[in-house]
Amino acid sequence: MTSSEVLSMYENIAGLTNQMAAAARIGDTSRLSSLEAQCATEASATSTGVPALAGAQRLRKIDLLKQILANDREIRDLTDPWMNNIPGMARQ
């Protein structure tokens, strides 16, 4: 995986998590689930390892990771109440 491919992957994941947050905001669980599957497929590329980045590329990756984490937090904040209302699905 090249450094350009690494950044492209993280940009795609950031975009998907942004769409997931938007779906969670409007309560579109079907869209959220579909996007979650796409995100998991995209993220599976990291299991083979990614090269270390330096300089501006490293800073861009860090920025993308911060976006992904912020989106994840928003998604969890929005979906935890739904999950807690489904028997057997309460999150810890």
Report whether pLDDT(13) > 60: yes
47 belongs to a structural domain: yes
90 belongs to a structural domain: no
91 belongs to a structural domain: no
Q: Which domain holds residue 57?
A: 3-84
More confident residue, 79 or 84: 79
Q: Could you write out the DSSP letters of every residue in 24-69? A: HHTT-HHHHHHHHHHHHHHHGGGGG------HHHHHHHHHHHHHHH
43 belongs to a structural domain: yes
Contacts of 65 (CB under 8 A, 6+ apart): 10
Indicate which CATH number applies to the domain containing 11: 1.20.58.380
Q: What is the pLDDT of residue 46?
A: 77
Q: What is the pLDDT of residue 87?
A: 66
Confidence class for position 39, pLDDT limits 50, 70, 90: very high
Count of domains observed in the chain: 1
